[in-house]
């Protein structure tokens, strides 16, 4: 073999000279040939039988094809062409000239690069924007000083407008590595476009956390540029609103905590968004703490807080806490008259509000200005009927909210307390008999078929000296007769006589027939005029009856206990609460596992998290809906910290099957943080045992996932030498 090599080497000196020519060409642009690689093509014969000059497909300079530099392609000529194309907005031509220049002379100066990036940022061609982005990343890797901050900011904004969230995220992270980001006004504009999509929302929220981490890092070192990295309230609100819109409640809660740690002051809009996030996660304690301040807000802001009261009332109903729900409803009516018409100056100041139970040793506090509503505030579009609405400029309970309360009071057999609540509301509203809330509730119960419930409320109204229209009595009497409930009909007829209600001729006839036991078909139908409000209340009452879910309140209460225990790092109590949930045969929610993962993670108990992952898979196989991207991301981050790479790949496969976006940059950084040099030199053949071989396989699979191999990379000289030896 050695003699063959020498023979070939001597007889084909022009091959070596060809190699040297390529080395010389690359050296002219400031790079050694050994730094350049190429991808060997299996389809082309790179060395003929006569050892002619090989056909090189492409180099790793990032360009699709290489151009031979000619006398007419001097750097001055190409730069003039490039400048002219950019001034005339000939994007394709500018890109072509830039590629030609780069192939011959490398990257141009920083001014030219900046002009190119800025000029092509206005292009509507997504592929061209993507190409510009790739060039920026390559320049950053080889010579970052060629990049100017302003041009990168323009490119960020252009990419976000084109809904290219992934390149935007890479560019922002590239800038963040240099402790720089666009100005907060520009960054808000970028975020406004990013959060329009689900994947963009996840990337925006992760980058927001990274910006805050960088801010803390620089602040601790008293860096002058630290304040330029502090996000604004609007940025947090944009991300929180998107988290609500896409149902990413766990990520939303993380953003709220980051907001508290960073010291960004929340405004009135933030409070409403908090209420949505806490409502989705079933965290009532946090909302109760906020309510103490919201109750003192001025009249104009109180209208804005209708969604806050709506979310809190919804949680009380889900917890089956009728006492808290009725108390909140009364507060909504009673507090209106005591609210200040002008701004409450005390609430114009920053108020520290605890996040979580006061019984915890360490509780985060978020700074809130409850009377502040910024001009550029985020407007949340509600996608459901509210329980609390604004009518005639005042907050009131809606038909849907009232129907839920009636249904729950009836199910718990507490009609007397419902009547007291209705009487209290009636006094605050001061409406007429026909339009009273008490009368509407009685009529809705009659039309729903709850005749005895309607009769009980009617009796309570009589005791409380609240008048009920005569027509309501007659309608209930007719309904009793229609349902052949003779005893109840007779009792009600006597009650009507005893009350000496004013009756017309037809009503007198109906009462007389019921008392005598003779009922004619014509007397059975005495319809009361149905108003739109009454019809709406009746419909919601029927829906509330059919949608009642007793298991929901139980799992929410257990989740609250699990959340408290995990925050207090009382993991034995957490396990007991989880076992109780299993013993009651209640299906856990995404929040159940998310809280437990957070608790175990805080104590670095990663093995316990692998056991939870097994439970999650079993519940999912049984039909339990636990497929949440927030939950999957939490699992991946903890498995990476614990070194469970097989589990990492399992979760990634679950996400792939469900078309969920995975933030590879985030996972890659977490991997490099804990396992940078893991198994870099170990080969499968050198593994000590089967367990190590399998672990190496999973580590390699994960490395290939975030950095896919691009082919067999070898140096130019190395490839030529191997072919000659062959």
Q: Is 338 helix (H, G, I), strand (E, B) or coil?
A: helix
Helices (H) and strands (E) in the chain, counts: 34, 6
- Tokens describing residue 702: 């994960």
- Tokens describing residue 677: 């040099």
Pairwise CA distance, residues 294 & 306, whole Å: 10
Pairwise CA distance, residues 644 & 608, whole Å: 12
Pairwise CA distance, residues 154 & 282, whole Å: 41
Q: How far is CA 49 from the centre of its chain?
A: 62
- In contact, 378 and 234? CB cutoff 8 Å: yes
pLDDT at 716: 36
Domain boundary among 517, 546, 575: 546
pTM: 0.85
Q: Identify which has the larger pLDDT, 236 or 40.
A: 236
Pairwise CA distance, residues 554 & 584, whole Å: 9
Averaged over 416-436, what is the pLDDT?
Answer: 82
Residues 448 and 389 in one domain: no
What is the per-residue DSSP string for 427-457? HHH---STT-HHHHHHHHHHHHT-HHHHHHH
The pLDDT tens digits for 162-195 are: 999 999 999 999 999 999 999 999 999 999 999 9
Q: Which residues contact 339 (CB under 8 A, 6 or more apart)?
A: 296, 297, 298, 299, 302
The pLDDT tens digits for 656-712 are: 999 999 999 999 999 999 998 888 888 877 778 888 899 989 999 999 998 876 543
45 — alpha (psi -120 to 50), left (phi > 0) or beta? beta
Quick one: which of 159, 99, 150 has its CA closest to 130? 159
Write down the mean pLDDT value for the chain: 83
Residues 565 and 459 in one domain: no
pLDDT at 484: 82
Residues 473 and 461 in one domain: yes
The pLDDT tens digits for 197-212 are: 999 999 999 999 999 9
What is the domain range of residue 249?
A: 232-396
Query: What proportions of the chain, in percent to the nearest 5, are helix, strand and coil?
Result: 65, 5, 30
> Which of the residue ranges 382-391, 464-473, 608-617 would you say has the lowest mean pLDDT?
382-391
Pairwise CA distance, residues 682 & 671, whole Å: 17
In 166-250, the DSSP E strands lie at none
Residues 392 and 403 in one domain: no
- In contact, 332 and 395? CB cutoff 8 Å: yes
Residues 311 and 278 in one domain: yes
- Tokens describing residue 144: 């970052």
Residue 716: how many other CB atoms lie within 10 Å: 20
Residues 596 and 668 in one domain: yes
Averaged over 17-46, what is the pLDDT?
Answer: 39
Pairwise CA distance, residues 394 & 295, whole Å: 14
CATH number at residue 700: 1.25.40
Pairwise CA distance, residues 447 & 449, whole Å: 5
Pairwise CA distance, residues 262 & 537, whole Å: 45
Q: Which residues contact 464 (CB under 8 A, 6 or more apart)?
A: 419, 420, 423
Pairwise CA distance, residues 476 & 335, whole Å: 35
Query: Is 673 inside any structural domain?
Result: yes
Query: Is 316 inside any structural domain?
Result: yes
Q: Identify which has the larger pLDDT, 29 or 244.
A: 244
Number of separate domains in the chain: 3
pLDDT at 409 over 60: yes
Angstrom distances, CA of residue 458 to CA of 288, 416, 420, 525, 539: 34, 10, 12, 20, 21
Query: Is 446 inside any structural domain?
Result: yes
Question: In residues, how long is the chain?
Answer: 726
Per-residue exposure over 94-120, b if at least 16 CB sit within 10 Å of its own CB, e if not: bbebbbbbbbbbbbbeeebbbbbbbbb
pLDDT at 605 over 80: yes
Q: Identify which has the larger pLDDT, 274 or 76.
A: 274
Sign of torsion, CA 67 71 72 75? positive
Sign of torsion, CA 407 411 415 417? negative
Query: Is 363 inside any structural domain?
Result: yes
Domain boundary among 396, 412, 435: 396
Residues 493 and 379 in one domain: no
The pLDDT tens digits for 241-298 are: 999 999 999 999 999 999 999 999 999 999 999 999 999 999 999 999 999 999 999 8
Residues 403 and 392 in one domain: no
Quick one: which of 304, 301, 300, 309 has its CA closest to 333? 309
Residues 364 and 380 in one domain: yes
Domain boundary among 372, 396, 420: 396
pLDDT level of residue 56 (50, 70, 90 thresholds): very low
Residues 441 and 376 in one domain: no
pLDDT level of residue 401 (50, 70, 90 thresholds): very high
Q: Is 708 helix (H, G, I), strand (E, B) or coil?
A: coil
173 — alpha (psi -120 to 50), left (phi > 0) or beta? alpha
Q: What angle do CA 505, 511, 513 make, to 5 degrees?
A: 100
> Which of the residue ranges 495-509, 568-582, 694-708 would you say has the lowest mean pLDDT?
495-509
Please give the helix or strand (H or E) that residue 604 lies within, else none.
Answer: none
The pLDDT tens digits for 427-465 are: 888 765 556 889 999 999 999 999 999 999 999 998 988
The pLDDT tens digits for 538-567 are: 999 988 887 767 788 999 999 999 999 999
Quick one: which of 244, 258, 249 has its CA closest to 206? 258
Query: Is 477 inside any structural domain?
Result: yes
Query: Is 454 inside any structural domain?
Result: yes
- Tell me whether strands 713-715 and 37-39 are parallel, antiparallel or unpaired: antiparallel
Residue 597: how many other CB atoms lie within 10 Å: 24
- In contact, 366 and 266? CB cutoff 8 Å: yes
The pLDDT tens digits for 132-158 are: 999 999 999 999 999 999 999 999 999
- In contact, 694 and 653? CB cutoff 8 Å: no
> Which of the residue ranges 46-50, 172-176, 360-364 would you say has the lowest mean pLDDT?
46-50
Pairwise CA distance, residues 487 & 490, whole Å: 5
Angstrom distances, CA of residue 106 to CA of 25, 46, 135, 157, 520: 11, 26, 12, 27, 101
Residues 402 and 345 in one domain: no
| 715-719: long-range pairs with CB below 8 Å, 24+ | 715/33, 715/34, 715/36, 715/37, 716/19, 716/22, 716/23, 716/33, 716/34, 716/36, 716/37, 716/38, 716/56, 717/19, 717/23, 717/33, 717/34, 719/38, 719/40
Residues 280 and 419 in one domain: no
Pairwise CA distance, residues 271 & 277, whole Å: 10
Query: Is 61 inside any structural domain?
Result: no
Q: What percent of the chain has pLDDT over 70?
A: 81
Query: Is 124 inside any structural domain?
Result: no
Pairwise CA distance, residues 573 & 655, whole Å: 31
Site of tokens 């609500």:
244
pLDDT at 54: 36
Pairwise CA distance, residues 217 & 226, whole Å: 8
Averaged over 636-660, what is the pLDDT?
Answer: 96
Q: How far is CA 602 from the centre of its chain?
A: 22
Q: Which residues contact 327 (CB under 8 A, 6 or more apart)?
A: none
């Amino acid at each position: 073999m050695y003699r063959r090599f020498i023979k070939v080497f001597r007889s084909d000196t022009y091959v070596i000279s060809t190699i040297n020519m390529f080395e010389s060409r690359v050296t002219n642009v400031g790079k050694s040939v050994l730094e350049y690689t190429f991808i060997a093509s299996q389809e082309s014969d790179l060395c003929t039988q006569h050892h002619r000059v090989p056909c090189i497909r492409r180099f790793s300079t990032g360009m699709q094809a290489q151009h031979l530099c000619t006398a007419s392609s001097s750097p001055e000529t190409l730069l003039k062409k490039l400048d002219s194309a950019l001034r005339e907005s000939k994007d394709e031509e500018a890109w072509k000239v830039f590629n030609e220049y780069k192939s011959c002379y490398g990257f141009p100066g920083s001014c030219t690069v900046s002009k190119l990036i800025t000029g092509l940022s206005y292009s509507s061609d997504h592929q061209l924007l993507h190409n510009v982005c790739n060039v920026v990343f390559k320049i950053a890797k080889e010579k970052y000083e060629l990049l100017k901050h302003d041009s990168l900011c323009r490119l960020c904004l252009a990419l976000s407008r084109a809904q290219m969230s992934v390149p935007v995220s890479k560019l922002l992270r590239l800038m963040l590595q240099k402790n720089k980001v666009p100005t907060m006004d520009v960054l808000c504009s970028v975020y406004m476009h990013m959060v329009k999509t689900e994947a963009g929302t996840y990337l925006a929220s992760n980058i927001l956390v990274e910006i805050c981490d960088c801010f803390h890092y620089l602040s601790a070192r008293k860096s002058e540029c630290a304040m330029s990295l502090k996000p604004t309230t609007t940025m947090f609100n944009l991300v929180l609103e998107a988290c609500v819109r896409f149902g990413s409640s766990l990520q939303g809660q993380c953003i709220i905590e980051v907001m508290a740690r960073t010291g960004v002051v929340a405004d009135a809009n933030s409070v409403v968004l908090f209420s949505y996030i806490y409502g989705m996660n079933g965290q009532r304690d946090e909302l109760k703490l906020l309510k103490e301040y919201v109750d003192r807000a001025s009249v104009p802001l109180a209208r804005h807080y209708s969604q806050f009261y709506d979310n809190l009332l919804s949680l009380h109903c889900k917890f089956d806490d009728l006492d808290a729900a009725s108390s909140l409803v009364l507060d909504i009516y009673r507090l209106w008259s005591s609210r200040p018409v002008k701004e409450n100056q005390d609430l114009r100041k920053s108020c520290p509000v605890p996040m979580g139970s006061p019984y915890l040793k360490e509780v985060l506090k978020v700074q809130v200005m409850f009377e502040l509503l910024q001009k550029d505030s985020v407007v949340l579009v509600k996608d459901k009927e509210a329980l609390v609405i604004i009518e005639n400029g005042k907050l009131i309970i809606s038909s849907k909210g009232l129907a839920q309360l009636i249904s729950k009071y009836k199910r718990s057999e507490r009609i007397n307390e419902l009547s007291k609540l209705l009487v209290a509301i009636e006094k605050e509203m001061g409406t007429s008999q026909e339009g009273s809330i008490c009368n509407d509730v009685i009529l809705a119960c009659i039309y729903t078929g709850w005749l005895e419930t309607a009769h009980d409320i009617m009796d309570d109204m009589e005791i409380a000296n609240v008048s009920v229209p005569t027509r309501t009595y007659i309608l209930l009497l007719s309904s009793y007769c229609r349902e052949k409930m003779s005893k109840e009909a007779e009792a009600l007829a006597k009650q009507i006589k005893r009350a000496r209600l004013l009756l017309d001729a037809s009503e007198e006839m109906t009462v007389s027939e019921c008392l005598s036991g003779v009922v004619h078909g014509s007397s059975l139908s005495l319809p009361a005029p149905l108003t739109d409000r009454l019809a709406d209340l009746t419909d919601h009452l029927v829906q509330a009856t059919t949608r009642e879910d007793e298991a929901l309140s139980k799992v929410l209460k257990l989740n609250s206990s699990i959340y408290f225990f995990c925050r207090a790092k009382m993991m034995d109590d957490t396990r007991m609460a989880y076992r109780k949930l299993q013993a009651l045969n209640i299906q856990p929610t995404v929040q159940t596992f998310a809280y437990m993962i957070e608790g175990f993670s805080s104590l670095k108990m990663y093995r316990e998290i692998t056991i939870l992952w097994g439970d999650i898979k079993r519940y999912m196989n049984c039909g339990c809906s636990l497929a949440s991207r927030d939950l999957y991301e939490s699992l991946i981050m903890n498995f990476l910290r614990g070194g469970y790479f097989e589990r990492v790949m399992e979760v990634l496969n679950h996400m792939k099957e469900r078309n969920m976006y995975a933030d590879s940059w985030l996972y890659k950084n977490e991997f490099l943080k804990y396992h940078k040099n893991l198994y870099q030199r170990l080969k499968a053949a050198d593994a000590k045992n089967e367990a190590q071989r399998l672990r190496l396989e999973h580590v390699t699979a994960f490395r290939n996932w975030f950095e896919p191999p691009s082919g067999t990379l070898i140096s130019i000289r190395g490839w030529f030498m191997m072919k000659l030896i062959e």
